[in-house]
Structure 1
Amino acid sequence: MLTGLIDLGRALWRRAGTAWPIPPAADHKSVLLLRLENLDVLARHLGKAGLNHLLVSLSVRLGRALRPEDPVQIPDPGIFAVILTGRREDQAMQVARRLLDQAGRPLAVAGQSVRPVLTGVLIHADAPERPDPGDMIDDARSRLDDAGAEMLGEVTLFAHDARAGCGKLPATVADAAQAGQIVAHFQPQLCCNSGRVTGFEALARWQHPTRGLLLPGTFLPRMAEADHRALTLSMLRQSMAALKAWDRAGWQVPTVSVNISNCELSDPDFATGLLWELDRQDVRPERLVLEVLENVAPVTSSAEAGQNLSRLAQAGCRLDLDDFGTGYASLDVIRQFGIHRIKIDRSFVMGCDLDAGQQRMILAILALARRLDIAVLAEGVETAAEHGFLAQIGCDEVQGYAIARPMPVEETGEFLARHLRRTSDLPGVPRRNAG
């Protein structure tokens, strides 16, 4: 989708008589970056074709509100970059606010009216400074990634910081993975009945050289296919290495879970490569849990995705259906792909010890899982009260801040030792049958 949008953008500007790439850097003083905040919601609502239509319509709408010499680019889906030439800071800010207002108005897409929600960052450099536009865009990206809730739906002005535009820093997740900056943090999963650690989930972090430790929310939404593949490969290798490290230390950690996206599953060679890597690392397939989102279903996935999942399941890898209750998977996905465990989304877990509505939803999911003979893990458990309630109603496993935050592999041994001391004398929690 990204390549098609960029090619389309280039074609539009050639047709309009505007050269690509953008004009010489000496003429530029301001860069506006607009990010579509409800991209994921719109993508699910409109589908791929509808989302493409929306992004192109927004680009055209922005272009019509600008001078011909102020080009609009779509560097990534949901990101719009506008180069403003020859304007003072106050003039650039006035234009930026006008563009944000224009872009946020309702649009008709596929017979539906949708309202985009955008956040903007304006980077301005006063003369005689002549920064490279690419560096200014990198600066704006950095500011957007760090944007707090108070910046949502607004345009915020910043003076250009040349250090933020350093071209030598990794620009993509794939670059970061190659540089060894993608690190796995591990969050434990506990059995509600025995209290033992049943496994860890590997969660990606970007150890950025200038911005510190970045959480997935700052880089996942704007990843290209190459980034997804590089990230997954890095996480799989680190997860297998963690299993071997735990074994050497004498810790009994049965499994490690890794998130897998549609991008990897659609690769015809994914299962072959993963099974080869498991064999090379001497890790049994049943110790690797692959977490797939609920929308990975026969009706939406490619044939390659189904074949990869089936082959991996037959080889012994365990499959989790992640974020259960927030997507649109049918029961057929559980049957066809042999799902071993469903993970109740944190939106159902929050306040479950007090909210009767949350309790009814969780009990219904548990009853369904019992009938299908699959395990249930509740994620996002943040309080001891939520943990206690879930244990009493028969939830199999829990994961969340109430147990532990994600931690580097070097800290997992200390956690395991501390947890073993704390739970060695505790009795199991009686379970109630949910269905």
Structure 2
Amino acid sequence: MNALPNGQERNEVANPEPIDRPAVDLAHQRITAILAPLEEGLQLWDGAGHLIYANPATHRQFCALEALGSGRHWTELACDCRTESGEPCPVDDFPVAHALRGGHKATPLLLRVNRADGAARWLRLAAHPLNAPDGSTSGVVSITVDVTQLVEQELRLEQQAHFDALTGLPNRALFSDRIDRALAHARRHGERLAVCLLDLDGFKAVNDEFGHQAGDLLLRKVAQRLKDTLRSEDTAARIGGDEFALLIGDLSTAGQCEYVLKRILDALAAPYLIADTEVRVTASIGATLFPGDTVDPDQLLRHADHAMYTAKLAGKNRFSLFDPTLESRVRANFGLVRKIEDALSRGQFVLHYQPKVDCLHGRVVGLEALIRWQHPVLGLRMPGEFLPLIEHEDVIVGLGNWVISEALRQQARLRSAGHDLSISVNIAARQLLRGQFADQLDAILARHTDVDPRRLEIEILETAALEDVGAVSRLISDFRQRGVRFALDDFGTGYSSLVHLKHLGADVLKIDQTFVRDMLDDPGDLAIVQGVIGLADAFHRDVVAEGVEDLAHVRTLLGAGCHIMQGYGISRPLPAEHLDLWLDSFAPDPGWQSPPGLLPH
């Protein structure tokens, strides 16, 4: 008790002073003033989940929402927001609800809110409970931080990592992920799906004629047509250049897949307006079906690639389905590919050389390099035993590069020994059209500076050259300027037109040996041989006859105007170690000179 003036005494606790309302209002104003400048949004909710207070930053963040008025319930806020994936916010996991229910800090949630201008604003919402002394939750304080710039940067990085920058389609990485998901779904639900690879026919010609910008525009238009033709649940991806991959799910029959592929071909074949000019391109599609085919995504893509190549060879602007009955053979080939890769690394391949002879002047003019596999167990294997099985595999590119390099090494050695001969090598269609052949050939020539490029001749199958006449003609033109010569091998089997022959610009036509071998007995084959020789003369090309087996062949060819020949009648292919002896002892056959008179019939 305290003594008061006039002798009065009183208990201070029993008689409290009244609340100073102006002081409380002043404190509230000070708190409001402190919270107002904050960039972070701050919200206070009562124990029932109603909004008591929101600072100005909150209203700026949620400017498009009416749910932030005082007294609004948190569920109204949740209904107007979206999660990172675009789905409505899960009510049970909403941080305010979680804090009210559990009485402890809730896991933050990323929200997407539409601004007044329609753009998206990304907010990170965290909630903390306000607990009373008795342990009950009397309210919640939540904080919203604007992370729009950070999220948009992450989205841009995600876009760059998983989507093609030019077309906006998924890229190879995302397509692979979607194959995995689609296969798992198809297995669970017993559904069919198709994995397809699509390559544009004639795209390079458009790109070269109108420029890269026009080519890019064409690719974007192709991508849009693919998206318009496929269902939203299907996937079209750009996996490089003018190649696209398709994933088509929920197929009931193989016929349904064929119907979809036919629609795609029709859509892509319609004309495009590029640089105010109407251009046309078509597509070749290879497809394989699950569950009829393997469940391995890489194998599915490999099989689709094989089928696409079949469509190309069949004339383009069509689709081809992979035949599952060939799977066992493909598996065996896969093992062979590994064996060949191993053999290449172990140096088990060798080259034999077949001479080319000018029978009119009686001199050797060149050599053709022919690959052999010196198998450690099976002995010397001929190319027909292994090359056809890997012609669609990447290993054939490495093998072809080795052949060129080894042939150039042998050419340099022979020249130093006094035999300055041209040397020719055969290039597979896959290496020529899909293996960056120009860059690889440049690199090989750069390593063999002791070889004159004019002494190198690249032999291309006529059928391979016709797969993409524009690309092959550009390649030939580029390397002819460096001195490298090109020959069309097996000429007469590819049905190329005179226009093709003119544009390809090859230096040499090699008459297919089947026509040469049978020309003495078959007037039709003789007419083809004479026709090829006439074409070579008309287009100022050299001509070489393969398959010359005897003296009659030589005389007939000389009489028809073909002077350069090769075949068993002149020499079999020789190992490198036998070349010098053969060349030193070479002498023309006196019987080669055909007597005057008519050609044999």
- 1:356 maps onto 2:523 in alignment: yes
RMSD: 3.8
Corresponding position of 2:491: 324
The answer to whether 1:221 aligns with 2:221 is no
Q: Aligned residue for 1:413?
A: 580
Say which SS state the counterpart of residue 295 (structure 1) adopts.
Answer: helix
Counterpart in 2 of 1:236? Answer: 404
Q: Once the two structures are superposed, what CA deviation does each residue of 1:138-158 show, in whole Å capped at 9, x if it has no partner?
A: 6xx7xxxxxxxxxxxxxxxxx
Conserved in 2, the CA contact under 8 Å of 1:352 and 1:389? no
Report how far residue 345 of structure 1 moved: 0.4
Is 1:75 the counterpart of 2:75? The answer is no
8 Å CA contact retained: 1:393, 1:432: no
What's 2:535 paired with? 368
- Mark the CA change 1:14 to 1:349 in structure 2 (over 3 Å): closer, same or farther: closer
Report the CA distance between 1:354 and its aligned residue. Answer: 4.1
Whether the aligned pair in 1 keeps the contact of 2:288 and 2:321 (CA below 8 Å) is no
Equivalence map 1:4-153=2 (5 Å): 8=288, 12=292, 46=314, 52-53=320-321, 55-56=323-324, 58=325, 73=328, 75=330
2:507 alignment counterpart: 340
* Shift in CA distance, 400/204, structure 1 to aligned 2, threshold 3 Å: same
Match 1:293 to one of 431, 445, 461: 461
* Cα distance change on mapping 1:7 and 1:324 into 2, 3 Å: closer
Aligned to 2:76: none
Q: Distance in 1 between matches of 2:537 and 2:561?
A: 10
The secondary structure found in structure 1 opposite 2:580 is helix
Give the CA deviation at 1:217: 1.0
- The 1:14–1:335 alpha-carbon spacing in structure 2 relative to 1, beyond 3 Å, is closer
CA distance in structure 2 between the aligned counterparts of 1:401 and 1:318, rounded to whole angstroms: 24
The superposition leaves residues 242-280 of structure 1 with CA deviations (integer Å, 9 ceiling, x where unpaired) of 111111111232x10111122222247422331232232
Q: Secondary structure at the match of 1:193?
A: coil
TM-score normalised to the size of structure 1? 0.61
Partner of residue 226, structure 2:
none
Give 1:270's aligned residue. Answer: 437
Structure 1 Cα separation of the partners of residues 545 and 379 of structure 2: 30
Amino acid at match of 1:226: D
Tell me the residue number matched to 1:400: 567
Looking at structure 2, the residues matched to 7 and 211 of structure 1 have their Cα atoms a distance apart, in angstroms, of 37
1:100 corresponds to? none
Question: Is the CA contact 2:287–2:320 (under 8 Å) kept in the aligned structure 1?
Answer: no
Residue of structure 2 equivalent to 1:157? none
Look at both structures and tell me which one has the larger radius of gyration over its CA atoms.
Answer: 2
Asked if the contact 2:488–2:508 (Cα under 8 Å) also holds between the matched residues in 1, the reply is: yes
Residue identity (%): 32
Cα deviation, 1:281-335, whole Å, max 9, x if unaligned, reads 121211110111112346x217654433321122211110110111122223332
3-state DSSP of counterpart to 1:423: coil
On the 8 A contact 2:287/2:322 being kept in 1, the answer is no
Count of aligned positions:
308
Distance 1:285 1:430 in 2: 38
Match in the other structure for 2:588: 423
Shift of 1:49: 8.4
The 3 A distance-change label for structure 1 pair 431 and 271 is farther
SS at match of 2:458: strand
Partner SS for 1:315: coil
- Aligned counterparts of 1:3 and 1:411: Cα–Cα separation in 2: 50
User: In terms of mean alpha carbon deviation, does 41-50 or 324-333 score higher?
Assistant: 41-50
Retained in 2: the 8 A contact 1:322–1:345? yes
Q: Gapped runs of 5+ residues in structure 2?
A: 1-194, 198-284, 300-306
Aligned residue among 420, 428, 442 for 1:261:
428
* Contact persistence 1:296–1:329 (CA under 8 A): no
Question: Which residue is equivalent to 2:371?
Answer: 204
Q: What amino acid is the match of 1:423?
A: P
